[in-house]
Amino acid sequence: MNEERRHFKIFAGTKGENLAQNICKQLGCKLGKRTIEHYSDGEFSAAFEESVRGQSVYLIQSTCPSSDNLMELLLMIDAAKRASAYKIIAVIPYFGWARQDRKDKGRVSIGAKLVADMIQVAGADRVITIDLHAEQIQGFFNIPVDHLYGLNTFADYIASLNMPNLIIASPDEGGSKRAAKLAAKLNAPMVMCYKNREKANEIAEMRILGDVAGKDVVIIDDICDTAGTLCKAANLMKEAGATSVRAVVSHGVMSGKACERVMNSALEELVFTDSLPFDTAQCQKVHVLSVARSFADTIRAIQEHRSISEINQNS
């Protein structure tokens, strides 16, 4: 990297430390020092332990609930702004509240838009994220958003398994576009599940649209929260005669009884990225792939004023 482009520093929030360390290894730099000081009433403050004046500051933090994680990011943005940072780039591997991207019934909030507004008001100049739940969330921002994709990471891993009768599956109609892209990349057929929810995190009905008998099924989704959808889809696939069933998911939220459900399901393996920290000892079926290189390449391109679209295609 040219000397005049080196003026940047990387810091991490609590939910971004592991990924940030890996990104720094890719870039050959050190992770910046910061402190999060907690008070007895639950309030906390963020501070940098080194100068950021005149620097492009990259703040790596997933904004998954609880809201403390979002608040950490907002406080770090504000601290960087008040410390005279040149540019403030929020690197948000998992963009929380993304499922609240529209009004699907009366008198509800659009949480994703509210979060976007808060990040901008706090002082962020740019956002980098990966595999948003809904791509239109980019339009909620009035600052540049670099939306990365984990598709190539998953495709490379699936190809390495050399499954002879591969078929790609979407667990619902909303993920059919994502599944179609992966199927095209791997030159594999695709099936889809139809599901109906009566309320959040509870599936009333699910059925398979397509034939999976004798196939090695790979289900692709963007979020594994309670794992209810994935496990139900996997069990249906197995009952329909699938030889094996795996799932690849961008963000492993894994809340509630998710680990227990995965272990008791027909899933042979659940693969997700390191956009959120996860201890694989909690669930032996989980395999984590790193997207650190994608973020590192993007940061390098921004610093060198190069195209990011080319990196996104090859990452």
Chain centre distance of CA 51: 30
Longest dimension (CA), the chain: 61
The number of beta carbons lying within 10 Å of the beta carbon of residue 120 is: 17
Smallest Cα–Cα separation from 161: which of 190, 188, 180?
A: 188
**What is the DSSP code string of 50-70?**
S--TT-EEEEE---PSSHHHH
Q: Give the active site residue among 30, 81, 185, 195.
A: 195
Rounded CA separation 173/192 (Å):
7
Helix (H) or strand (E) holding 303: helix 292-303
Smallest Cα–Cα separation from 243: which of 137, 166, 143, 142?
A: 166
Chain centre distance of CA 3: 32
Concerning whether 195 is annotated as a catalytic residue, the answer is: yes
Rounded CA separation 159/244 (Å):
15
Smallest Cα–Cα separation from 245: which of 275, 274, 220, 210?
A: 220
Rounded CA separation 230/182 (Å):
17
Q: Are 96 and 119 in contact (CB under 8 A)?
A: no
Would you please indicate which residues are annotated as catalytic (active-site) residues? Answer: 195
